[in-house]
Amino acid sequence: MGVLSATSELPRKCQPRVHNRATFSARNNSSQLRNPSESIGNSVKRVLLTGMSGTGKSTVIEELAARGHRAIDTNNGGLSELVNVPDDEPTGLEPGQDWVWREDRIQTLLSAHDVDVLFLGGCSPNQGKFYAQFDYVVLLTAPIEVIVERLASRTNNPYGKRPEEVARVVQLQQTIEPLLRATAGYEIDTSVPLNQVVAKVLQHVDVSS
């Protein structure tokens, strides 16, 4: 496996609204996570892989799926949607737009009991509403220079190539990532090779590869 690359990163990464800092912090409290021991038996073990734009969430989800796990990117399959916000509200998208989970569809996924383990990858301003249903929240991170290089060189998404977009990514890493870190149970630097990242995820949630 190679190091997570810019070109393997899929579109639309975590872009929580800056004005939602208090909401994000209050809802995304690690003490509200399910006790993993409750997953013993017939319950599904639910894992959220979250992080900022360019940290490799989609890449890790793809690799988990390739290994036979049920791993879903919440940026795809109609699980997220664009919403209108005030033009002066800082988001990771263009002014006046934000990208959020469709709560009814996310809930449907979390309510299913047809697998032993469910991995969801993504980041959204409203994800805190679902924290009580996750057994594990894993934060994926990378140095800002790695993120900027990934965004600049990827070919499947134009976002992150304009100076103002890069500035926005840097700002969100400084303001939102600390909130994610404070509420995650585990953090992984994705600048290491992909197979190492996936191995760390599986080891943390006690799932075989």
Query: What are 109's two structure tokens?
Result: 């996924």
C-alpha span between 58 and 81 (Å, rounded): 17
Note the pLDDT tens digit of each residue in 133-177.
999 999 999 999 999 998 888 776 677 788 888 888 888 899 889
Query: What is the helix (H) or strand (E) element at residue 178, kind and residue range?
Result: helix 177-183
C-alpha span between 22 and 12 (Å, rounded): 23
Query: What is the helix (H) or strand (E) element at residue 164, kind and residue range?
Result: helix 163-175
For each of the domains in the chain, give its residue range(s) and CATH number, in order of start.
18-204 (3.40.50.300)
At 209 the pLDDT is 74
At 172 the pLDDT is 86
pTM (2 d.p.): 0.81
